[in-house]
A and B are shown apart, each in its own frame.
Chain A
């Protein structure tokens, strides 16, 4: 069933702040096998001009995707998440995510399309820090595949 176009432009309330932990950044960097010292060594990060260790570019996805749950699980929208695949992902950074950041995400439905029975949903997540400054915007395209035989 095609998703309701009237949801385009809908914005969900900002999420409660997520506090970025330096050990969480280290765990993520180790999981992707990335030994860049900017992720784990405060002095190395400072030598690059950062106030503390920074997170790898895709780290923030875990935060924005959790926030997108408000959209994905919105019973009024009615997305069939069991059939959803991740189509595209994009980030635009004002500054890197740093240890100690308290990040809040505001999710907006940017577009809803129906193509060959597939529902395509574009969600934009605006990430701000505790002082209200913009950190990064994440765009996530989700594709809900048409049921077989539909």
Chain B
């Protein structure tokens, strides 16, 4: 494990570089194939509406995968992430309009822990709504 960020160089409040991740219907089909999650709410609009959703929604695990990229890109080595958890609070709605949706992710150091570890709190929004709650990673720094 070789994080490129030094523990001594960060403090509570240090912001990680924010990123925006686009997601279209094609993204969801690709993610369904790669993850093996073929639930039709992620690709079939008719089915999604029938079960009470506004439209096709992104896989929660896709959003979780995108959100932690802000942390892994910052740390350099993805293995620097020793814990990662989220609550799925709102779905990312993905219209079939070619443009899809955006997942906007920001993060900051919320606590410095023992053993050169920090807790990073992550905020993920789409269409102005928070889509993840309690989204936190523990990261071991250099």
Residues of A within 8 A of B (CB): 24, 27-28, 30-34, 36, 38-39, 47-50, 54, 56-58, 61-62, 65-66, 85-93, 95-96, 139
Contacts and interface: CB of A to CB of B under 8 A. Distances in A.
Q: Interface on chain A toward B: helix, strand, loop, or mixed SS?
A: mixed
Contact of A89 (B61, B72, B82): B61
Nearest to A26: B34
Given A30-B30, A32-B69, A57 B62 contact: no
A62 B77 contact: no
Given A27-B34, A49-B2, A57 B21 contact: no
Interface of B: 1-2, 21, 27, 30-31, 33-37, 60-62, 64-66, 68-69, 72-73, 76-79, 81-88, 134
Contacts of B73: 36
Nearest to B81: A57
Contacts of A139: 85
A57 B72 contact: yes
A113 B81 CA distance: 30
A95 B66 CA distance: 20
Q: Which 3 A-B pairs have the closest CB atoms?
A: A90-B85, A31-B34, A96-B79
A54 B79 contact: yes
B79 A95 contact: yes
A90 B83 contact: yes
Contact of A38 (B37, B78, B87, B88): B78
Contacts of A61: 35, 61
A16 to B, nearest CB: 16
Contacts of A36: 72-73, 78
A75 to B, nearest CB: 21
23 contacts: A28-B35, A30-B30, A32-B34, A32-B65, A33-B21, A34-B65, A47-B2, A48-B76, A49-B1, A50-B79, A54-B78, A57-B84, A58-B61, A58-B64, A61-B35, A66-B36, A87-B87, A88-B86, A88-B87, A88-B134, A89-B64, A92-B82, A96-B79
Contacts of A28: 34-35
Nearest to A141: B87
B37 A62 contact: yes
A57 B68 contact: yes
Nearest to B41: A85
